[in-house]
Every structure is written in C-alpha cells, then in structure tokens.
Amino acid sequence: DTEVTQTPKHLVMGMTNKKSLKCEQHMGHRAMYWYKQKAKKPPELMFVYSYEKLSINESVPSRFSPECPNSSLLNLHLHALQPEDSALYLCASSQAPTGSYEQYFGPGTRLTVT
C-alpha cells in the first residue's frame, strides 16, 4: 500500500472559521510533511514531522497549526485564515533520510478562503 489519503478533498471556509485537514499513511513512514501549492508554482514546504516530532517549521504563520497524533496521522488545524491562503494543501510521507528519499504525496485538499 503506497497510498497517502487526505480529507477533505475540497474545503471552503470563512476567515473566522476553524477547520482541520487530515492526512493518513500506512506505509510505516516516519517522516510526514505539509506542503502548500499555488497555481503554476512548485510545492512549498510548510512543516515536517520526524518520528512524530515537529522538526521543520518553514516560518509558517501561527494561523496554521500542525499536529501529529501518531506515526500514521497528520493534521493541519486552520484558524482565522486569509484569502491569500487559498491553495492546494498537500501531505506527503517518506522513510527516514538514511533510506529512500522518495516522498509519497496525497491527492491534496483544495482550500478556498472567502
């Protein structure tokens, strides 16, 4: 099973709402990632969890709050977002860096902030 699943597929939220994005993988990967992708741009790294601990935060605004409840799950909690936060949010996972480098991506959540 090389699948990373993400829910929901689409999300529309107002600037005062609180919502969460969810990601799950069952490949035994110990690194999980959140990326943001705007149209016609490459994915931009937001957060990395390694062995369920936050190891990289790319200076992401605090209105985005990641959480890794266990080795298979990754959440991104959203609060008080801005319209410019509208984008495709991608989750990915990979083995530890000493092994294979390939990241497996989920299909993404298309977020629209109104």
Partner 1 sequence: DQQVKQNSPSLSVQEGRISILNCDYTNSMFDYFLWYKKYPAEGPTFLISISSIKDKNEDGRFTVFLNKSAKHLSLHIVPSQPGDSAVYFCAAPKASGTYKYIFGTGTRLKVLA
By the criterion CB under 8 A, which residues form the site for partner 1?
4, 6, 31, 33, 40-43, 45, 48, 50, 55-56, 90-92, 94, 97-98, 101-108, 110
Determine how many CB atoms are found less than 10 A away from the CB of residue 56: 13
Q: Which is nearer to partner 1, 66 or 108 (CB)?
A: 108
Which of residues 48 and 113 has its CB atom nearest to partner 1 in the complex?
Answer: 48
For partner 1, the closer of residues 16 and 53 by Cβ is 53
Q: How far is the CB of 88 from partner 1 (least distance, A)?
A: 8
- Residue 112 CB, shortest distance to partner 1, in Å, is 14
Buried b (16+ CB within 10 A) or exposed e, 71-91: bbebbbebeebeeebbbbbbb
Q: Is the dihedral of CA 8, 91, 73, 59 positive or negative?
A: negative
Q: CB nearer to partner 1: give 16 or 40.
A: 40
* Cis bond upstream, residue 8 (ω within 30): yes
The CA distances from residue 52 to 4, 5, 99, in Å, are: 16, 18, 18
Q: Closest approach of Cβ 80 to partner 1, in Å?
A: 26
Smallest distance from partner 1 to CB 50, Å: 6
- 29 touches 94 (CB < 8 A): yes
